[in-house]
Amino acid sequence: MSKLETNLNQKMIDEKYDFIERWLPARYTTSVNIILKEDVRKPAYIRKVKKERISDQKILDALYKVALLNKLQIET
């Protein structure tokens, strides 16, 4: 069972990264830090998480939110 759960979890992470790649605006590090509020990270680290697909759930969630907001702005 754990192998199936791992595959599903990895598939969800891959789908998130695909969405982020498609909808993330060119300048996003400031927006990510605004979402993170108290856990502000250096822009270089945020870009590294996105580029190298590092498993940092907080950053990944913030990147997803910024991409989602950008998608909503573009589509309306």
* pLDDT tens readout for residues 41-69: 999 999 999 999 988 999 999 999 999 99
Q: Give the number of other Cβ atoms within 10 Å of residue 8's Cβ.
A: 10
Q: Alpha-carbon distance 57 to 36, whole Å?
A: 11
Give burial (CB, 10 Å; 0-12/13-18/19+) of 7.
exposed
Q: What is the pLDDT of residue 74?
A: 93
* Amino acid present at 16: K
pLDDT (tens digit per residue) in 13-49:
899 999 999 999 999 999 999 999 999 999 999 999 9
For residue 1, is pLDDT > 60? no
SS3 19: helix
Only one residue has tokens 């945020």, namely 46
